Every structure is written in structure tokens, then in C-alpha cells.
């Protein structure tokens, strides 16, 4: 059973006045089949947590551990983490000019699965996954994220999630910038992956809106670079009613 364990994680970024600590001791365990929502105000360090887990070079881990089924994630390069089963759906997916979506998806699936998927089944697999996300087949021939609308970018992220079937899916503000239709389609994609029961999901969000579509098992409030309160779905209802004010009195980070 896949388990991501984060223990006392401290992370800094290089800022003008020297290194600035953003994460100040994060503890969290995400197991296969579970969905954890991490909610917090802007600047609380939620995205830093997401990018640190994926291994973005901008962030320096200064303390703590992250393991996936006992393996040291922090020792792995970015691509090794992805192949080990960590997937980050990004808030701002990057344009890669001249690289088609179909080429990108196949290259990625080949790397993660350890062998090139058989062409015939692969084409069908992609086509069906795209249809479920209500994506035009012509989309596959466009360059990765180039000229995509906000909704197209997020659907493309979830398409990858569905195809790569990670052990741990980290969704960084996947709901931001989506209209209600796109939010529904994207959420349905996430729910299909959850329904397989093979992935653990870490849903990072500022708003409670997406939780109407994706029901978390656990809700955590993130403030000042750490988890300050954990609970069940009822905690989201409280946040919806009261906002983050109670958690930000000490001031957020950055």
C-alpha cells in the first residue's frame, strides 16, 4: 500500500535578503486511496509544499524527511520522483514550443511505465481519456500548453494524471481560474483516478468550491508554513463559513 510520509519538513528559498524559510515543519501522511485537502490563505506555503515534493530546484530542503513507501524522495532527482509515482498537477503549466501534446504524452508515459506503450492500445487509451475530459482530438497535435486557455491547461494536467496513474497525486490549485463547467470536468477526472483506489491525492486549494465535487477524507489548514489544524470534511465547512482569519493573526509567510 503506497504511503507518502512527510516528517518535520523545512524548506527555504533564496530571497533578496538571503535564504527565507517557507515551510516550518510540515507533518503529513498520505496513504493510497485517501484524499487530503490542504487549504490555506495566499502565501501560507501551500504551493511551496507541492513544488518541494516534486523537487523544483528553486526550493532547498533544510530539514525533515519525505519518503514514499520507505524510499527517500528527497534523494531523488525530479524525473526519478515522477517515475517513483509522485505526480504534480501544476497551477501554471509551462509552455513547451514545438513539442506536440501527443509526443509529450507518449514520451512521458514511456518514461514512467518503463517501456513504450504499444502504439495501438496507446492511441485508443489517449483518445478515450481525452473524450472523458471533453477535449477535442485536434488538441493532441497542438504544442504543449502553447496558447492553451486556463481550462485547457488544467484539463491537460488531469489528462496526464489519468494516463500516468501515479501513487501520489499532488494537485496544486487545479481549481483556480476554472469556470464551473471546466471545474466539473476536471473534478470528474480526479474522481475517476481516486475511484481506482490506487492513488493517494493531495488536493491543494485556496477555495472550498472544488470540495463540492471532490470529497476529501481529511482536511488540513495550512498557515505560516505548517499544518495548523486537521480534521474531517466538516473543517472545510467551517472554513467556508469563517474564512482563514482565525489562522492568519500571526501573519502569513511572505
Partner 1 sequence: MAEAPTNPVALAAESTVATRMSAPPSFDVADFPVPTGREEEWRFTPLERLRGLHDGSAAATAGGSVKAEVTTPEGSGVTVETVSRDDARVGKAGTPVDRVAAQAFSAVEKATVITVPAEAVLTEPVRVSVHGEGGVTFGHTVFRIGAFAEVVLVLDHTGDTVRAANVDFVVGDGAKVTVVSVQDWADTAVHCSQHNALVGRDATFKSVVVTFGGDVVRIHPRVTYAGPGGEAELYGLYFTDGGQHQEHRLLVDHSAPNCRSNVAYKGALQGADAHAVWIGDVVIQAAATGTDTYELNRNLVLTDGARVDSVPNLEIETGEIAGAGHASATGRFEDEQLFYLMARGIPEEEARRLVVRGFFAELIQQIGVPDVEERLIAKLTAELERSIA
Of 109 and 211, which CB lies nearer to partner 1 in the complex structure?
109
In the bound complex, what is the minimum distance in angstroms from residue 135's beta carbon to partner 1?
Answer: 18
State the Cα–Cα distance between residues 18 and 109, nearest whole angstrom: 39
In the bound complex, what is the minimum distance in angstroms from residue 91's beta carbon to partner 1?
Answer: 12
DSSP letter for each residue of 147-172: T--HHHHHHHHHHHHHHH--SEEEEE
CB-based contact 81:54 (threshold 8 Å): yes
Q: For residue 91, give the nearest of 16, 8, 157 by alpha carbon.
A: 157
Q: Is residue 147 at the binding interface for partner 1, with CB under 8 A as the rule?
A: no
Question: Residue by residue, what is the 3-state secondary structure of 214-250?
Answer: CCCCEEEEEECCEEEEEECHHHHHHHHHHCCHHHCCC
Q: Are strands 200-205 and 168-172 parallel, antiparallel or unpaired?
A: parallel
State the Cα–Cα distance between residues 207 and 224, nearest whole angstrom: 17
Q: Which of residues 25-64 bind partner 1 (CB under 8 A)?
A: 54-57
Task: Select from 95, 134, 141, 181 the one that contacts partner 1 (CB under 8 A).
Answer: 95
Task: Select from 4, 11, 88, 169 the one that contacts partner 1 (CB under 8 A).
Answer: 88
Phi, psi of 234 (to 5 degrees): -65, -25
Stretches 29-37, 41-49, 93-101, 148-156: which one binds partner 1 (CB under 8 A)?
Answer: 93-101
CB-based contact 145:153 (threshold 8 Å): yes
Task: Select from 18, 98, 250, 251 the one that contacts partner 1 (CB under 8 A).
Answer: 98
Task: Select from 14, 71, 79, 242 the one that contacts partner 1 (CB under 8 A).
Answer: 79
In the bound complex, what is the minimum distance in angstroms from residue 118's beta carbon to partner 1?
Answer: 18
In the bound complex, what is the minimum distance in angstroms from residue 146's beta carbon to partner 1?
Answer: 10
Task: Select from 6, 37, 68, 90 the one that contacts partner 1 (CB under 8 A).
Answer: 90
Q: Which of residues 199-218 bind partner 1 (CB under 8 A)?
A: none
Residues 6+ apart with CB under 8 A from 115: none
Tell me which residues touch partner 1 (CB under 8 A).
54-57, 77-79, 81-83, 87-88, 90, 93-99, 103-104, 107-108, 111-112, 143, 160, 164
Amino acid at each position: 500500500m503506497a504511503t507518502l510520509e512527510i516528517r518535520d519538513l523545512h524548506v527555504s528559498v533564496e530571497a533578496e535578503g538571503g535564504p527565507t524559510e517557507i515551510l516550518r515543519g510540515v507533518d503529513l501522511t498520505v496513504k493510497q486511496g485517501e484524499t487530503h485537502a490542504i487549504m490555506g490563505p495566499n502565501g501560507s506555503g501551500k504551493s511551496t509544499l507541492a513544488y518541494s515534493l516534486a523537487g523544483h530546484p528553486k526550493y532547498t530542503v533544510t530539514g525533515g524527511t519525505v519518503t514514499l513507501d520507505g524510499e527517500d524522495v528527497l534523494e531523488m532527482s525530479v524525473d526519478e520522483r515522477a517515475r517513483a509515482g509522485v505526480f504534480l498537477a501544476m497551477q501554471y503549466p509551462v509552455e513547451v514550443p514545438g513539442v506536440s501534446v501527443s509526443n509529450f504524452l507518449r514520451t512521458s508515459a514511456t518514461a514512467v511505465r518503463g517501456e513504450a506503450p504499444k502504439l495501438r492500445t496507446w492511441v485508443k487509451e489517449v483518445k478515450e481519456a481525452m473524450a472523458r475530459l471533453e477535449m477535442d482530438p485536434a488538441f493532441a497535435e497542438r504544442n504543449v500548453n502553447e496558447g492553451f486557455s486556463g481550462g485547457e491547461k488544467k484539463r491537460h494536467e488531469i489528462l496526464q494524471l489519468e494516463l500516468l496513474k501515479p501513487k501520489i497525486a499532488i494537485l496544486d490549485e487545479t481549481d483556480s481560474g476554472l469556470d464551473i463547467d471546466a471545474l466539473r470536468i476536471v473534478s470528474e477526472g480526479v474522481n475517476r483516478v481516486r475511484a481506482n483506489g490506487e492513488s493517494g491525492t493531495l488536493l491543494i486549494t485556496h477555495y472550498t468550491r472544488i470540495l463540492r465535487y471532490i470529497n476529501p477524507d481529511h482536511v488540513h489548514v495550512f498557515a505560516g508554513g505548517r499544518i495548523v489544524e486537521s480534521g474531517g470534511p466538516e473543517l472545510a465547512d467551517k472554513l467556508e463559513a469563517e474564512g482563514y482569519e482565525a489562522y492568519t493573526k500571526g501573519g502569513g509567510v511572505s
